[in-house]
Chain A
């Protein structure tokens, strides 16, 4: 079966750095997405990786290793507004998105 694993919850301190991991086992691979979802709001697109390596976008970076079935989202200089759930999703060979259950990130002052 297809599976996306990410930690259920993480806690970090304002101003610090946090890394949210995502491992996947899917039938084929056609890209990996990270989304941010604040409570009661729409998931919003953060990043897309299809080739190995690091993609940087301001305070957020996303890394992919296809051979290891692994990605991480790195958040730097954490702000209170970064408290949210972070969803990892992989597009499989049928071009369907397979979703993880999300990681709830709690930022403490």
Chain B
């Protein structure tokens, strides 16, 4: 059971394809995040949006392009990816004005780049 949904759950794409990952949160939160999770490595923060404004871009290559049309939806547009971009991409949301600002995660999109 989760208040954060992600689609698709699995994606296989070639290096020349363009695809988009979608995230939706039903928790009324005001911040949303994209993370990359590779095997046996710590979660890597990619992008942060506070109140629909991007506040963090942790040196992510331009082949990843985020979009946040409103506080409930977040997209990650992908183009000309590399095989090393294969990973689990996780979306999270939080309430930045709360005491703990706990992040709640979606189930992720397992991306394979051929």
Q: A97-B45, A101-B42 are in contact. Are A48 and B100 (CB under 8 A)?
A: yes
Of the candidates B40, B102, B105, B107, the one whose C-beta lies within 8 Å of that of A48 is B102
Q: Does B97 contact A (CB under 8 A)?
A: no
Q: Does B59 contact A (CB under 8 A)?
A: no
Shortest distance from the beta carbon of A44 to any chain B beta carbon, whole Å: 7
- Decide if A100 touches B100 in the complex (CB within 8 Å): no
Q: Which A23-60 residues sit within 8 Å CB-CB of chain B?
A: 31, 33, 35, 40-45, 48, 50
20 CB contacts below 8 A, A to B, read A4-B42, A8-B40, A33-B102, A35-B105, A43-B43, A43-B90, A45-B102, A45-B103, A45-B104, A48-B100, A48-B102, A87-B43, A91-B101, A95-B101, A96-B56, A99-B42, A99-B43, A101-B40, A101-B41, A101-B42
B residues adjacent to A (C-beta < 8 A): 2, 4, 40-43, 45, 56, 90, 100-108, 110
A residues adjacent to B (C-beta < 8 A): 4, 8, 31, 33, 35, 40-45, 48, 50, 87, 89, 91, 95-102
